[in-house]
Structure 1
Amino acid sequence: MDTDTAAEPELVLQGKFADAATRAACSQDSPPADDEGVIRIPVSMVEQIRRACDAAEAAGTQL
């Protein structure tokens, strides 16, 4: 969780860069902005991400 952003707190995720074919497929549905990328996150990380999102939501304006 990055609470030092100019606008609002952001959840920071780390993953492997997606391959060219995956990036192209994703870009058809939702082209990434110049400062965005497509990453892959293992399914084994879903529970950790869920807990991080729940914690961020519970913190609300306290962040």
Structure 2
Amino acid sequence: MRLLKLKDVIFLTGLGRSTVYKYIAEGNFPKPVSLGERNVAWVESEINDWIFLKIKMRDEAKL
């Protein structure tokens, strides 16, 4: 299991920082794991699952 910092999540998803946190607040994005008082990271597999879901939704919309 690998943990990703925010900069890596932004790179993989193409989202901005504020959008990541907006989606989390809306329940539409994986929640980060607390690593300390001011340190969080995301589980890589959860981010990949979110990306694959977006691809699946795109492909299903074409049907």
Q: Tell which structure's C-alpha radius of gyration is larger.
A: 1
Q: Which protein, 1 or 2, shows the higher relative CO under an 8 Å CA cutoff with sep ≥ 6?
A: 2
TM-score over 0.5 (shorter chain): no
TM-score calculated relative to the size of structure 1: 0.31
Greater helix fraction, Structure 1 or Structure 2: 2
TM-score calculated relative to the size of structure 2: 0.31
Greater strand fraction, Structure 1 or Structure 2: 2
